Amino acid sequence: MLPPRSAFPPGFLFGTATSAYQIEGHAAGGAGATHWDTFAATPGNVAGAADGARACDHYHRWPEDLDLVAGAGFDLYRFSTSWARVLPEGRGAVNPEGLDFYDRLVDGMLARGLKPALTLYHWELPAALADLGGWANRDVALWFAEFAALIGQRLGDRVYSVAPVNEPWCAGWLSHFLGAHAPGLRDIRAAARAMHHLALGHGLAIGALRAAGVGNLGAVCNFEQVFPADASPEAAAAAARHDAIMNRFFAGAMLQGRYPAAALEGLAPHLPRGWQEDLATIAAPLDWFGINYYTCKRIAPAAGPWPGYAEVPGPLPKTALGWEIAPEGLEALLLWLARELTGPLPLIVTENGMAAPDATPAPGQALTDADRIAYHAAHLEACRRAIAAGVPLAGYVAWSLLDNYEWAEGYAARFGLVHVDFESLQRTPKASYAAFRQALEG
């Protein structure tokens, strides 16, 4: 059972989230190629070499999908705009069909009483900008601010909130140092530069949105609870390095105007000249701060150059992706953020959910995903404890409305409250969807 709406403070917002490339079907509507199309087309990067060309065909089925969001009683829908759908080359000529699509989508949310919570960039960089070096190129941050201004002018009068970049750690470190996401680089110089330019793009976009008269601006970063793998000082230092790169790099820059020393010790030599001068732009004031939370990590020292650490498996029960289920970590991170970084700023859990081994439902039968209900329930209880301890938590957004394109995992990992048959594209609400509907009534 999920805790009911009445167990949260009045006005607490419940939402569900998706992102453009993961659901829309990128081949439709005149969108330009993205670096995820090329990453997926390169052998060995994505399970089944799957891409987002069709995905959930949300581009055509969005009214049904918004009906599902509203039908569960959610207050808010977190979605994203695809840069390459709006600007197929990343800059220059606009694809009017793309802008019109987001216009209709936002109007469709308002018509259903949903608050549109917009993310400008959820990872599908236009391939034309990847050709120019992608986020490792400082100009991409400037072009991103132009994209932000364009979207702000078109949608800014109707959206509830805007965040420029989803999970800059993933777009930066995971994609340019670990090589797990597009563009699939394993290069510390590219990683350091991409991370800095993502932070700069965030700050410049906040400025461009404010200049366009758009309010309720925030950020969405991902966090993990970090444990040293053992009691040794070496493990403690390794865990501190992971914590600095993962949890403190972007939040520190955005909220305090500085990068943490334990990250700079390895990244500083690779940052672009004059990076310090961008920190004031990056730390532009925000109206709220979003935390995406899924799991905890155990970190051990490892041989080799900086940062010299590796993840080791832990003992907790795991999701279908092998991620440990650690709801206490969400509570701990909310308390830490409010105490050390965000103070009175409203926090929102902008993503939380699990990949479950969902069997295909029999015709006419609901899919019983009791494990997913238990996951959301435990994390909502963690939110309640954080609120009781004084954290100004304003909302909780479940990832995800639909089973969708789970990046390097392709279509195999299912996070949805609604099952999607990727042959017929039929949507079937799972038991977790019904659990939210029931909780949100009460």
Reported residue count of the chain is 442
406 binds ligand FCB (CB under 6 A): yes
403 binds ligand FCB (CB under 6 A): no
289 binds ligand FCB (CB under 6 A): no
Q: Shortest distance, CB of residue 257 to ligand FCB, whole angstroms? A: 25
| Shorter beta-carbon distance to ligand FCB: residue 180 or 264 | 180
DSSP string, 141-200: HHHHHHHHHHHHHHHTTT-SEEEEEB-HHIIIIIHHTS--STT----HHHHHHHHHHHHH
Q: Shortest distance, CB of residue 395 to ligand FCB, whole angstroms? A: 16
Helix (H) or strand (E) holding 419: strand 418-420
Q: Distance between CA atoms of 76 and 104, rounded to whole angstroms?
A: 16
Q: Shortest distance, CB of residue 292 to ligand FCB, whole angstroms? A: 6
| Shorter beta-carbon distance to ligand FCB: residue 144 or 169 | 169
CA 418 to chain centre: 19
Q: Binding ligand FCB by CB under 6 A: which of 173, 396, 407, 436?
A: 407
CA distances from 164 to 23, 38, 85 (A): 19, 23, 16
DSSP state of 318: B
**Encoded tokens for 22:** 């993961």
DSSP H helices in 13-91: 20-23, 35-40, 58-71, 83-86
Q: Shortest distance, CB of residue 279 to ligand FCB, whole angstroms? A: 25
CA-CA-CA-CA torsion sign (31, 96, 115, 343): positive
Q: Which of residues 109-168 bind ligand FCB (CB under 6 A)?
A: 166-167
CA 339 to chain centre: 23
Residues 6+ apart with CB under 8 A from 398: 14, 15, 16, 17, 352, 353, 376, 417, 436
| Shorter beta-carbon distance to ligand FCB: residue 35 or 91 | 35
Q: Which of residues 189-228 bind ligand FCB (CB under 6 A)?
A: 222
| Shorter beta-carbon distance to ligand FCB: residue 166 or 432 | 166
Q: Binding ligand FCB by CB under 6 A: which of 19, 225, 352, 432?
A: 19
Q: Shortest distance, CB of residue 360 to ligand FCB, whole angstroms? A: 20
Q: Which of residues 333-362 bind ligand FCB (CB under 6 A)?
A: 351
Catalytic residue (choose from 124, 324, 351, 406): 351
**Beta bridge partners of residue 217, listed in sequence order:** 162
Catalytic residue (choose from 24, 124, 167, 331): 167
Q: Shortest distance, CB of residue 174 to ligand FCB, whole angstroms? A: 9
By CB under 6 A, the count of residues binding ligand FCB is 12
| Shorter beta-carbon distance to ligand FCB: residue 127 or 355 | 355
Do residues 177 and 188 lie in contact, with contact meaning Cβ atoms separated by under 8 Å?
yes
| Shorter beta-carbon distance to ligand FCB: residue 130 or 401 | 401
Q: Which of residues 250-269 bind ligand FCB (CB under 6 A)?
A: none
Phi/psi of residue 245, nearest 5 degrees: -70, -40
Q: Which of residues 82-101 bind ligand FCB (CB under 6 A)?
A: none
| Shorter beta-carbon distance to ligand FCB: residue 101 or 399 | 399
Q: Is 351 a catalytic residue?
A: yes
CA distances from 270 to 136, 266, 398 (A): 11, 8, 36
First CA to last CA distance, the chain: 12
Q: Which of residues 367-396 bind ligand FCB (CB under 6 A)?
A: none
Which positions are annotated as active-site residues? Answer: 167, 351
Please report, as ranges, the residues that interact with ligand FCB according to CB under 6 A: 19, 22, 166-167, 170, 222, 292, 351, 399, 406-407, 415
